[in-house]
Amino acid sequence: MFTDYDLPIKLPAKYYPAIGELLYRWALLEFQMQVIIWRTLNIDNKKGRTLTVGMSARALMAILRTMSLRWAGNKTDIQMLNSIAKHAGKLINVRNSVAHGTWMYPSGGRKTAIRLHFMKETPEHRLLPRTKKYTPDKIKTDVGKLARINERAEALITMIEARQPPST
């Protein structure tokens, strides 16, 4: 059964902080993954940016996994590289849905009955997007997951930097 949806001009106010934090934490994670790559390969920020600029998050995660096979400093680094990549991989579709999806409500229905409409890879979803009820509380749950990944990434960066000689 097809349901027709309308776009609200404004979402209920409680959505904005949750959406904003989710997108901020994902952007932070992408930057952290780049820094991890630069530090693990012991290259400066300028060369590092040249190397990783424009890389997709999926490419960055793949590099972290590959680095764990050869360039990681120790077992803890290996575990952390794989953990960051694994957990980020579980949330990338959520991030993409929120960043590129549209928030709508059923035509003629309550404007607060918000659903997230998002495209999937399959052709049938390009014609009729998928929808899901994605409340601010659920968004905050995913924000918490991202915050834990951010903390792990920051801890790894700190550990790697502590082992590197000071620059002159």
Give the pLDDT of the chain (168 residues) as one tens digit per residue.
567 887 888 899 999 999 999 999 999 999 999 999 999 999 999 999 999 999 999 999 999 999 999 888 789 999 999 999 999 999 999 999 999 999 998 888 888 889 998 876 666 555 566 788 999 999 999 999 999 999 999 999 999 999 887 664
Whether 10 is in a domain gets the answer yes
Question: 20 lies in a domain?
Answer: yes
If one counts every other C-beta atom within 10 angstroms of the C-beta of residue 74, the result is 10
152 falls within a domain: yes
Asked if 34 contacts 52 with a C-beta cutoff of 8 angstroms, the reply is: yes
Q: Whole-prediction pTM value?
A: 0.89
Neighbours of 161 (CB within 10 A): 11
Range of the domain at 129: 5-161
